Amino acid sequence: MTIKEDLALPVGTTLDRFIMRKQEDFPFATGELSQLLRDIALAAKIVNRAINHAGLTDIGGAYGKQNVQGEDQQKLDVVANIRFIRALRNGGEVAAIISEEEEGIIQTGNMKGKYIVAIDPLDGSSNIDVNVSIGTIFSIYRRTSELGTEGNLEDCLQKGTEQVAAGYIIYGSSTMLVYTTGNGVNGFTYESSLGEFFLSHPNITIPKKGEIYSVNEGSFNHFPEGVQQYIELCRVRNYSARYIGSLVADFHRNLMKGGIYLYPITQKSPLGKLRLLYECNALAFIVEQAGGKASDGQRRILEIEPYELHQRCQLYIGSTDMVEEVETLLVARGVPSRHSLA
């Protein structure tokens, strides 16, 4: 191929163009949700730039404070939180935001905004300093309160089934934005020289069964008996153990190749560790749209009724056959409660 022929090749479909074409698929399609997704993409580009410069500027490492979860914040946690909140506030479509990094509801001042966003601005941030893939996770809900008022707690505590869109950005060897609006899952890869996300993974589907299991086996002795039995089965079957410690990265790999991610309850985390509103709901919506399954061992994640902003739960997510096998073993062994682990 000549240079002239190479330069003449089409570069593909941009995220903006894809959103515009698919706008009729969005519930209540009037353009606001399309703009909201663009706002998220813009913030992702800014955060991606900050991450890529983390080793060259004084932006890596610990921030010196803890977030509402009691976890040590990294500097980039704070940067990402500010960038996404600013983009969503300035975009004008969001009435209120809830963030894993903030204790309460963040009012945007956009009282005519039709949407509520739940976001984990930087998942896996403890891996920043060792150059491991990290990510952003977001959920979008249509507000239930009256337009012209501030977003309230009821707006934020909606079940996952009420999401109108959800997605994640993975910052790795390439930066990708993957999202769904309830009509399948599509992935876009960032082309930094052009400053655009391009459709690279259309209509993503997860294999019904995989051969990868992702779990922190260092906590094996503290897992429920049914989970221990499942891990032993994975070992006997010579499944590949792959655990990065970045939820987005582990989930993304399994979504593409087939597999299961497990984060059970333990004595240390008797309610589970992952956050229902900021992590589990979004990924559950995505995996179901891709043909997979997400469960807390007994219930469909999307049907869990939230009762507080920072609610935690256990998570089994990925290929349908693998999740269902874990559920069967947990039921057979008796799904433990927080009291039985104490």
* Bind-site residues: 100, 120, 122-126, 216, 243, 261-263, 273, 279
Q: Which of 239, 240, 261 is nearest to 249 (CA)?
A: 261
**DSSP state, residue 263:** E
Burial of 56 (0-12, 13-18, 19+ CB in 10 A): exposed
Which residue type sits at 63? Y
Tokens of 323: 């999740």
φ, ψ (nearest 5 deg) of residue 316: -130, 110
Annotated binding site for substrate: 123-126, 216, 243, 261-263, 273
How many residues comprise the chain? Answer: 342
Separation between Cα atoms, residue 257 and residue 96, nearest integer Å: 36
Separation between Cα atoms, residue 118 and residue 71, nearest integer Å: 19
Angle (CA) 84-308-158 rounded to 5° is 70
Annotated binding site for Mg(2+): 100, 120, 122-123, 279
Look at the block and give the residue holding tokens 């060792």.
Answer: 130
Separation between Cα atoms, residue 228 and residue 232, nearest integer Å: 6
